[in-house]
Amino acid sequence: MELNTKQIADILGHNGDVISAPVHQITTDSRQVQNGDVFIAVKGEKFDGHDFVLEVLKKGASLAIVDHLIADTDRNKQIVVSDTLDAYGKIGAYMRSRFKGVVIGLTGSAGKTTTKEEIKFILSNFGKVYATPGNHNNFIGVPESLVNLDLSADFAIIEMGMSAKGELSRLTSYVKPDIALVTNVYPMHIEFFKDLEHIALDKAEIFEGLKTDGIAVINEDTNFADVLTRKAKEKTQNIILFGTNHHSSASFELQDDGMHHLYNAWAVLSVVRALGLDEQKAASFIKDFGALEGRGKKHILKLKNGGTYTLIDDSYSGQPEAMKLAIEALDKIKAKGRKIAVLGKMAELGQHSKQKHIEIGERLADTNIDIVIGVCEEMKDMLACLPPKITQYYFASKDGLDDFLLNHLLQNEDILLIKGARYSSKLYQLTEELLKQGS
C-alpha cells in the first residue's frame, strides 16, 4: 500500500504528532491486524472497535483511528476523529483521487453484484479491471474497496448499496464516479422509506458524485425512471438509457434464462458505450458470463437412489421483484421433470409485508410451476393464493427441509429453485447442504 501514517494524518487533518511509519494495510477487523497496519475503530450493533485498540497496538499496528483517545497507550499512535467511518471514507477518497483510470459506480435495488461482476468480466477484454470484492458496498465496504484500489488498473468498478436516505450521497462523495449506473428501483428496504418514489430519489444520490462531463446510465423501464433521469440532469447532460426502447444494436447470446439477465447485459453494454469501446466485441463475450453462486447459478446434483436434479441457487436475496423474476425464469424453463420452488420469507418490508407476500402467491398462480414450498410464517399468505393445480408445503424454518427434499420429494430431472431473504430465511444453508449431499 502506497501510504504512510503521516499521509493519513494529513488526509484526516490531524495536527498532533504521529509516529512515522509505512502502512501495510488498513482494516476495521482487529482479528486481521498485523505488524504495520492501521486499525480503524468502528462501532457496530454488537461490538465497539475501541475495545480492541490496546490489543491491536500491542500486535504491532502502526496507528489506530478512534473517536476518543484510548488511555494507557501511546497517543502518537492514535488519531482522534469525530466519525471513524467517515475517516475511512476520506482515506478511500484520497486513494481514488490518485487513480488515473475510469471509475464506474453502480447501485440498484437488486442484482448489483451480478451486474458489477459482468461489467468486470466484459471490461477485462479491454484492459486491466479492479472491482469491489464480493458485495462490500456499505460504509465499510466502499472505503475498503477504494483504499485497496489497484492504481495500475484501467477501470475501477465500485458497487454502492443503501438502506436509508443520505447513504449514497455520502458514498458517492468518496467514489466520485466518472460513470454512474442505476440498475433498477424496487421496494427493497421499503420499511425504512416513505414510499417507492423516495427509494428512487435516494438511489439518484449516486449522481451527486458525477462531474459535469460525467455519464449517467439509467434503466428506462424501472420504477420512477423519470425521477432518476431528472435528478441525473441536475449534474450532467450526458445520459444513456437502456431498456426495451433503448439498447445496444449489438447481437448477443445469454447463458441463463430470465429478463433480469437481459437487462444486466443491456446495462453492461451501455457502460461499454459510455466508455467509447467496441460494443459488438463486448457483446460477443456475454454468452460466456454465467450466474454467480447464490444468484441463480445452476448445479446438476445426484439423487441418492439414482438420477439427477437441477438446483437453481438464488438463495442470496429475497426481495419482491427479484423473487418475481426468479419465478418467471423458472416458469419459462423447458423441463422434463417437475418444477419446484422453495421460497423463504422476504424481509424489511414493514407494513407492506403481507401484501408483497400475497403478490408472490398471485404471480405463482399463473405459472406452470408444479410444487411450491413456503418457508417461515410470512409465506403462509403466499401459499393461500395458490390454486389446487400447484402442490404446496409449509415449513416454519429450513430445519428438516433438506431431508424432506432428498428423501421424499425430489425425483429424476426435477428443477429446484431456492430463493429467500438470506439472513431471515437462511435458505442459503439449505443450498449448502444440498450441494454437499449431491456432489
The CA-atom distances, in angstroms, between 374 and each of 250, 377, 419 are: 41, 8, 10
Domain limit, last residue, from 239, 263, 288: 288
Q: Are residues 138 and 243 in the same domain?
A: yes
State yes or no: pLDDT of 255 exceeds 70.
Answer: yes
State yes or no: pLDDT of 232 exceeds 70.
Answer: yes
Domain limit, last residue, from 19, 50, 81: 81
What Rg, from alpha-carbon coordinates, does the chain have?
A: 24
Each residue's pLDDT tens digit, 6-60: 999 999 999 888 988 999 999 999 999 999 999 999 998 889 999 999 999 999 9
Q: Are residues 226 and 340 in the same domain?
A: no
State yes or no: pLDDT of 188 exceeds 70.
Answer: no
- CA neighbor of 163 nearest in space, from 180, 141, 148: 141
Q: Are residues 126 and 252 in the same domain?
A: yes
Q: Are residues 262 and 350 in the same domain?
A: no
Q: Are residues 284 and 420 in the same domain?
A: no
The C-alpha cell that represents 394 in the structure block: 409449509
- CA neighbor of 151 nearest in space, from 178, 174, 168, 128: 128
Q: Are residues 48 and 136 in the same domain?
A: no
Q: Are residues 264 and 393 in the same domain?
A: no
Q: Are residues 274 and 346 in the same domain?
A: no
State yes or no: pLDDT of 3 exceeds 80.
Answer: yes
Q: Are residues 34 and 165 in the same domain?
A: no
Q: If you average pLDDT over every residue of the chain, what do you get?
A: 92
Give the CATH number, domain containing residue 236. 3.40.1190.10
Measured between alpha carbons, how far is 274 from 241 in angstroms, rounded to an integer? 11
pLDDT at residue 86 in the model: 96
Range in 21-30, 180-189, 269-278 with the lowest mean pLDDT: 180-189
Look up the domain containing 28 and give its range.
Answer: 5-81
Q: Are residues 236 and 333 in the same domain?
A: no
Number of compact structural domains in the chain = 3
pLDDT at residue 193 in the model: 52
Give the CATH number, domain containing residue 304. 3.90.190.20
Q: How far is CA 303 from the centre of its chain?
A: 32
Q: Are residues 235 and 94 in the same domain?
A: yes
Domain limit, last residue, from 38, 64, 81: 81
CB 152 within 8 A of CB 99: no
Q: Are residues 130 and 195 in the same domain?
A: yes
